[in-house]
Amino acid sequence: MNVRNPERAEALAGEYVLGTLRGRARERFERLARADWTLGEAVRNWEERLLPLAEELPPVAPPTRVWAAILARTGKAPVARASIWSSLGLWRALAFASLATVVALATVLLRPAPEVPEGALVVVLAGTDARPALVASADRLGRYLSVKPVARVDVAADRALELWMLPDGASPRSLGLISATGVVRVALSGPADQALRNIPALAVSLEPRGGSPTGLPTGPVLYSGPVQRMY
């Protein structure tokens, strides 16, 4: 890993912050950044460029009909359900379109263009603090959604992370369990462009080990983000 070249060091710092630097290369970069002030400063500069973008976006109010449908399906008391799924933080997170666009743009700039000939869908899943935790992406014609953590995600042994589609005007639909530590390929019902056509956003909830027992989210929403189409 050549970090002596300033342009290469800047590109690696960008990949690290965006989460596209993986495996041993990421671990080695972290060691180098701790020891090299210039490299560490490049990382901090990237963080300062990207993270404030989400904080500037206004909150988005949830459609009332979505939560009414959830209440009808689960039979839960309105107050209890509202405290989980209609929180201001969740819907503010869904307004992070600018951050997702930056991620996709930087990926294109830092990688050869032929890697995404058919276009791509990108979802930056962030918490209420606006910090990205996971990134989901798929080729436009691909049948799998790749989900990878870009920050540390702590999950208790008896809990699991479950990924949900949030259709407009309908109840959340599960895409399955995802990992807090590694990349997971989630199967879609068809090509990503079609499977996510009427899905404006995705969310991740904390569920019992093995997933939600009801077919609908039962735990708190940890991360969410809008589906961005880079084509």
5, amino acid identity: N
Question: Quick one: angle between helices 97-110 and 6-18, nearest 10?
Answer: 140
With pLDDT > 90 as the criterion, what percentage of the chain qualifies? 33
The whole-number pLDDT of residue 53 equals 53
How far from each other are the two terminal CA atoms of the chain, in whole angstroms?
A: 32
pLDDT digits (tens, 9 = 90+) for 158-192: 999 999 999 988 899 999 999 998 899 999 999 99
How many Cα atoms occupy the beta-carbon half-sphere of 45 within 13 Å?
A: 13
Query: Would you say residue 73 has pLDDT above 50?
Result: yes
pLDDT digits (tens, 9 = 90+) for 209-226: 999 999 999 999 999 989
Instruction: Identify the structural domains of the chain with CATH numbers, from first to last.
Output: 6-55 (no CATH), 64-229 (2.60.40)
CA–CA gap between residue 193 and residue 148 (Å, rounded): 20
SS3 call for 117: coil
pTM confidence score: 0.56
- pLDDT of residue 101 exceeding 70, the answer is no
Closest CA to 122 of 107, 110, 143: 107
Structural tokens at position 141: 């014609």
Backbone angles phi, psi at 124, to 5 degrees: -95, 115
Q: Which of 150, 201, 180 is nearest to 47 (CA)?
A: 150
Strands 120-126 and 132-139: antiparallel
